[in-house]
Amino acid sequence: MQDPKDVLEMERVKSDGVSWIKRPTGGRAVLHFEDITYSCVFSKSLRFMGTSVQESYRIITRGLIEGLNKIGVICQAHDSYDQLHEVKREVKLPCFLAPNRDEIMVDGRKLVGSAQRRCTTGVLQHGSIPISDYYRKLPEYLNISDKEREIQRKLLQRKSVSLDELKIDVSVGTIIAALKAGFEESFGLKSVTQSWSNDEIAAIEKNISPENHSKIT
């Protein structure tokens, strides 16, 4: 994983009160604000969830698309690899625009950014769906040149999109309910809502503290 001090403009991060954390899936920086995040954690023994990175990615993408369709988002699974790989040769891409296959896109613009990690017994995939365009402020917090910052701003504007820009005017609760229903229908499962236990909350808070961020691996 990258050292945050090498990646982030720490003075700007501190002055704006922006918190940071290393995520288990690694990769480059993502700015989370006014977005919906999701995560899927499952055992490798669940064969119907896929037996490879790409197969699991494709299956989870179907659930996300099913949910997004319910709030009026007409999106498709699209291969952004070739298109964005060419751009990647010219500039270090923001994580949200990292090339991948089976990306969820609307008219050629990326709507959902996802990452996956597989270990010996389990799989984690998580990602985010921007509600507003605030995520495009990310270059302001990166330790990069002014030229690269401007290139990244333009790329995020041209190659990605938010729900607000798609005129999806629904509540956060409605979005969450739609995604939940999409996963249920796509996977053929019935969801159960369960709150975090006190022990789980304590473990999370311990791991996300700045002094312990290096323990999240």
- Active site residue ranges: 95
146, burial (CB in 10 Å: exposed 0-12, middle 13-18, buried 19+): exposed
How far apart, in Å, do the first and last CA atoms of the chain sit? 9
Q: What is the DSSP letter of 197?
A: P
CA dist., res. 130 & res. 212, Å (int): 28
Neighbouring CB atoms inside 10 A of 203's CB total: 12
Maximum separation of any 2 CA atoms in the chain, in Å: 49
Task: Report the candidate in 82, 89, 96 with the shortest Cα–Cα distance to residue 134.
Answer: 96
CA distance 128 to 98: 13
Find tokens 């365009």 and name the residue: 133
